Chains A and B, each alone.
Chain A
Amino acid sequence: MAKKILTEHINVPGIETFEVYRKQGGYTAVEKAIKTMTPEEVVEEAKKSGIRGRGGAGFPMGMKWGFLAKPEGVPRYLVCNADESEPGTFKDHHLMKCIPHLLIEGMIVSSFALGANKSFIYVRGELMYVIRILEKAIEEAKANGFLGKNILGSGYDLELVVQPGGGAYICGEETALLESLEGKRGNPRNKPPFPAVKGLYQSPTVVNNVESISNMPWVINNGGDAYAAIGIGRSTGTKLISASGHIQKPGVYEIELGVSVDEFLNSDEYCGGIRKGHHLKALVAGGSSVPILPAHLITKTAAGEDRLMSYESLSDGGFATGTMLGSGGFIVFDETACIVRNTWNFSRFYHHESCGQCSPCREGTGWMEKVLHRIEHGHGSMHDIDLLVDVAKKIEGNTICPLGDAAAWPVASAIRHFRDEFEWHITNPHEASQPGAVFMGAVLA
């Protein structure tokens, strides 16, 4: 049985209540940190743990905390990014819904480390019931003296606010999130200045993902070194993977980083293999924005090594033959999936979610979606494929925030690995636009 950090007690009945969570060893990290450690020591433990941001970018959390500017007389803020809206990713939702006190405990410890007296949890607007669960948990924690004024008699105050978002994907980008939190339109800001210098209300701010923060109680209780011992290389600790698609057992799984993709995909402990009678065609390993991989590059890298579930191994080979761990949205496609239709679907999402601030993304996402729609519905021509590649290339890297990249990568990678399928759609327009078309011996759904 693999090591469980976040989901160890997730199936204990009543874990969402304070009493049960406390009985399972909850809030000991708060006691340990506030009573026996200085904020600097907590930051040091986070650095030692080597934990990397779980929201998708994989930036070391301890290093991010180290960048926080600490001018005199200016408040500092910790903001938890719970605006999880990437297609294929549903790990934070699961965590907050089932074990809300874990996040709150993590928030208290992290806020203490950063010297923040007011912290925010920005939750995706669609998850109203999760917001109520979190608010109830905060009330319980406050009633038991773990939140509010003078926590555990230490003189440290912390107020925790749950803020519902408006349901925009772009507000998961940290600066757009801060704008939205300030009550403005959720447009990403130009960087620099980075949030660590000028963030929420122009004050130094750290924005962390739910899963990253939820790891902190364990790191405090067991030490950063113990956390760093789990996992492989620079990918330390465990990761929640939300598996979906054509597999036997879709769901959220906690894995030790470094498990092989083959094991994760086929063992009964995790996904349980592709659904019966079908075989693997493609995989999106880290949420809809990362490049899609064809079957032959999933379990082995281009160099023939086993591909592992880690930041490094998944990105082995760059974007030519690799992908990214991203946010851990593991979407599996069997041979019945139409790649063109799927790419169009992803593209439609990014078109809909682009904030419209900078021109390449505003105009380019819509353009790509329209061209893909045409190809899927039998009105494409061969030069459309090269056009898509070119438009994706022109969007990538030229936008304010990473949404432009996220919109370009799935399209570029789908054409890179499945060009024949795009061409087949164009040469057989009538057949391809109907359900039940047969491509390379497989009936497309």
Chain B
Amino acid sequence: MEEIKPQLIKITFDGIEVEVEPGTTIMQAARKIAEADESQGYLVPPAMCYYKPLPTSGGKCRACLVRVAAGSAKDPRPMPKLVPSCITQVQEGMIVENTTNDAVLDTRKSIVEFLLINHPLDCPVCDQAGECHLQDFSFEHGSAKTRYEEERRTFEKIDIGPFVQLHMTRCILCYRCVYTADQITNKRVHGVMNRGDASEISTYIEKAIDNDFSGNVIDVCPVGALTDKTYRFKSRVWFSKPVDAHCDCEKCSGKVTLWYRGDEVIRVTARKNIWGEVNEFICNTCRFERKKTSDWTIEGPTKVKRSSVISANKYRKDLIAKPDFALKLAATQFKPIDDEREYTTDIETVRHQSIENNDKANHRSLLPQNNN
């Protein structure tokens, strides 16, 4: 029997033609291109808030803005503004410009800047470092310097339960954890309070988030705002080794990734696809309580992109041993950094500059607050 296929829609994304089903978003069309040809991965717009397993997410971070040079074959006028590719549906004959348009790249650079002005640069002590979407995003599109001289926004720490650590200062308000609680748990007890740059993820009067699937907010969080308390400060992700495993779980699919350090399981997460999205959400028992190898049936090493720090080529001892390995690795990672600052190697000047910068920062923090 022949399968009845819906009529496909043809669009042009950065000069590449792709056929997708009606109702597909521009982002999904771009991902389709990259899935067919891995070398085109750089074409895909970055997503900080959009998360495919969570319907209705997206449209908030504006990182994926693209230009639509022609709306459709019927109406080939360009769209007046840049559109969020994660929620804009394709039309027959649509022409989309992403990496080929300077205005798009310029806007993307400013989105990194906006996201980073209030984000603490505490990656060295952040558990998310190495698998942080904001790190990747700023590495790909950001600038090495900041124009922000003001005091950064900080929040009081609140306790939201025994398993999940909320570090609100790092939050970029993508709303993913709110959608997760809405869509895969029975009752949402956390949400966004206040507004503007004072808005924060919080529970009502520090109520603990307590249900069987609450741990999934850790997996969906693109930054280190929600981290695993049982894994806190135990290891850096690139020192641990991910292994696919499963178990018979009555609550969830039981398909997980175990993160080993030596012989010890230090963390359990859901399995993620190449876009960093969870394939199947897992329950808290699997995530927080089954931390022995004997609880699991091991399937084999998790496939990790070679460019990822997580892979760090742990699995190919023969490759690492080759003399030109380091050079080759460096060549795949090399990217010119956008930094026009003059630099000096004179130690006295460097010392003087850093004192000056410190003074400047201290001076700012002593300024009267903006409420007079």
Contact = CB atoms under 8 A, between A and B. Distances in A.
B114 A360 contact: yes
Contacts of A399: 62
* A contact residues, range: 20 to 34
Which of B81, B82, B153 has most A Cβ within 10 Å? Answer: B81
B59 A394 contact: no
A359 B199 contact: no
B192 to A, nearest CB: 7
A362 B111 contact: no
Contacts of A387: 147
A370 B197 contact: no
B117 interface: yes
A170 B150 CA distance: 26
Contacts of B194: 356
Contacts of A365: 196-197
Interface stretch (A134-142, A197-205, A282-290, A346-354): A346-354
A360 B110 contact: yes
A351 B197 contact: yes
B45 interface: no
B367 interface: yes
A367 B149 CA distance: 9
Given A399-B62, A400-B60, A356 B148 contact: no
Interface in A303-362: 348, 351-360, 362
A398 B107 contact: yes
Contact of A364 (B59, B114, B191, B367): B114
A377 B118 CA distance: 22
Interface in B88-133: 107, 110-111, 113-115, 117-118
Given A185-B192, A355-B195, A373-B370, A360 B82 contact: no
A350 B349 CA distance: 41
B61 interface: yes
A363 B150 contact: no
B27 interface: no
Given A348-B370, A363-B118, A358 B61 contact: yes
Given A190-B59, A358-B62, A359-B111, A366 B81 contact: no
Contacts of A357: 60, 173, 175
Interface core residue of B59, B60, B111, B196 (most chain A CB under 10 Å): B196
A356 B173 contact: yes
B190 to A, nearest CB: 13
Contacts of B114: 359-360, 362-364, 367, 394
Pick from A170, A362, A365, A397 the residue with the most CB of B within 10 Å: A362
Contacts of A185: 191-192
Contact of B192 (A351, A354, A356): A356
A359 B113 CA distance: 10
Given A359-B172, A400-B60, A190 B84 contact: yes
Contact of B59 (A352, A369, A371, A400): A400
B197 A354 contact: yes
A190 B49 CA distance: 13
Nearest to B178: A185
Contacts of B59: 190, 358, 400
B205 interface: no
B65 interface: yes
Contacts of B173: 356-357, 359, 362
A373 B175 CA distance: 30
B356 to A, nearest CB: 14
Contacts of B147: 387
A369 B370 contact: yes
Contact of A356 (B63, B110, B117, B198): B198
A334 B118 CA distance: 38
B195 A354 contact: yes
**Interface residue SS majority, chain B:** loop
A354 B61 CA distance: 14
B54 interface: no
Given A348-B370, A359-B114, A370-B150, A170 B81 contact: no
A168 interface: yes
Contacts of A355: 195-196, 199
Contact of A366 (B84, B172, B197): B197
Contacts of B118: 363, 366
A165 to B, nearest CB: 14
Nearest to A354: B196
A355 B175 CA distance: 13
Nearest to B115: A359
B110 A362 contact: no
Contact of A360 (B87, B111, B199, B367): B111
A279 B59 CA distance: 47
Nearest to B151: A370
A168 B195 contact: yes
Contacts of A370: 150, 370
A357 B49 CA distance: 11
A28 B150 CA distance: 60
Contacts of A360: 62, 110-111, 114
B152 to A, nearest CB: 11
- Which of B113, B114, B147, B194 lies at the interface centre, i.e. has the most chain A CB atoms within 10 A of its CB? B114
Interface in A371-417: 371, 373-374, 377, 379, 387, 394, 397-400
B150 A359 contact: no
Nearest to A169: B195
Nearest to B197: A366
Contacts of A374: 150, 367
A398 B197 contact: no
Interface string B129-164: 000000000000000000110100100000000000
B82 A356 contact: no
Contacts of B62: 358-360, 398-399
A180 to B, nearest CB: 12
Interface of B: 58-63, 65, 81-82, 84, 87, 107, 110-111, 113-115, 117-118, 147-148, 150, 153, 172-173, 175, 191-192, 194-199, 367-368, 370
17 contacts: A352-B196, A353-B195, A354-B195, A359-B60, A359-B173, A362-B199, A363-B118, A363-B197, A366-B196, A367-B114, A367-B117, A394-B110, A394-B113, A397-B81, A398-B81, A398-B82, A398-B110
Given A190-B87, A377-B367, A394-B114, 13 more contacts: A190-B59, A357-B60, A358-B59, A358-B61, A359-B115, A359-B172, A360-B62, A362-B173, A363-B114, A367-B114, A367-B150, A374-B150, A377-B368
